[in-house]
Amino acid sequence: EPVNMTTVLKNVVDILSLKAENRQMELILNCEASDCIISGDQDQMTQVFQNLIDNAIKYSKVGTSVEINCRYIEQLPHKSAPGVQVAVCDHGDGIDEEHLPRLTERFYRIDKARSRTMGGTGLGLAIVKHIIMRHRGRIQIESKAGEGSCFTVLLPLKA
Ligand code: ATP
Ligand code: MG
């Protein structure tokens, strides 16, 4: 099924706007004018970005912003095909490099005590990774402790 990524991201921003407001946070969505259409499952794509933006809100300080940038790219890094790149960047606590390789494992959480107070199961990123792989995509995580994190999803365009 063709999935318009701009539509998905607008929908997720709507879903999470109240949660962001409660933390005095702004969700800034930037989508390129051109249509970024992939082939896949709209509900699963919604789940991916709901998990990523939920994390960006949860693990950031009150009053900061989350930027979501969506753009067309001519050539994916993992596949000789054009694609869509969606980056979710926050100005949160950041993640120490030592944790990055295991972050998408099921139930992996950095701060067990903090996680208990925040709820959740530690499955969010494992689900994200699974769905992205099923759509022949990739996820890249860049982060600096104390500065923030960017989760970048790369997906092939609809043929
Ligand atoms: P759930 O998603 O099931 O509610 P969770 O958020 O703890 O629980 P994941 O989404 O899989 O689980 O994230 C795993 C861990 O990675 C989190 O517990 C948190 O420590 C860390 N993490 C994820 N996203 C960020 C982020 N944007 N900034 C800082 N740390 C993050
Ligand atoms: Mg999560």
ipTM rounded to 2 decimals? 0.99
Q: Give the residue, by CA position, lying nearest to ligand 1 atom 5.
A: 122
Distance from C-alpha of 77 to C-alpha of 118, rounded to nearest angstrom: 35
- With a 6 A CB cut-off, is 56 part of the ligand 1 pocket? yes
Q: What percent of the chain has pLDDT over 70?
A: 98
Residues 6+ away with beta carbon under 8 Å from 15 = 50
Q: What is the pTM of this model?
A: 0.96
pLDDT tens for each residue of 28-39: 999 987 779 999
Looking at the CA of residue 111, tell me the nearest atom of ligand 1: 20
Which helix H or strand E contains 99, and what residues bound it? none
Q: Which tokens sit at 37?
A: 């259409």
- Residue 123: what are its φ and ψ, rounded to 5°? -100, -15
Band of residue 60 on the pLDDT scale cut at 50, 70, 90: very high
How far, in Å, are 2, 44, 71 from residue 75 at the CA level?
20, 24, 12
Q: What percent of the chain has pLDDT over 90?
A: 79
Residue with the two structure tokens 């890249």:
140
* CA-based R_g, the chain, Å: 15
- Judged by its nearest atom, the ligand closest to the C-alpha of residue 59 is 1
Angle, nearest 10°, between helix axes 124-134 and 42-58? Answer: 150
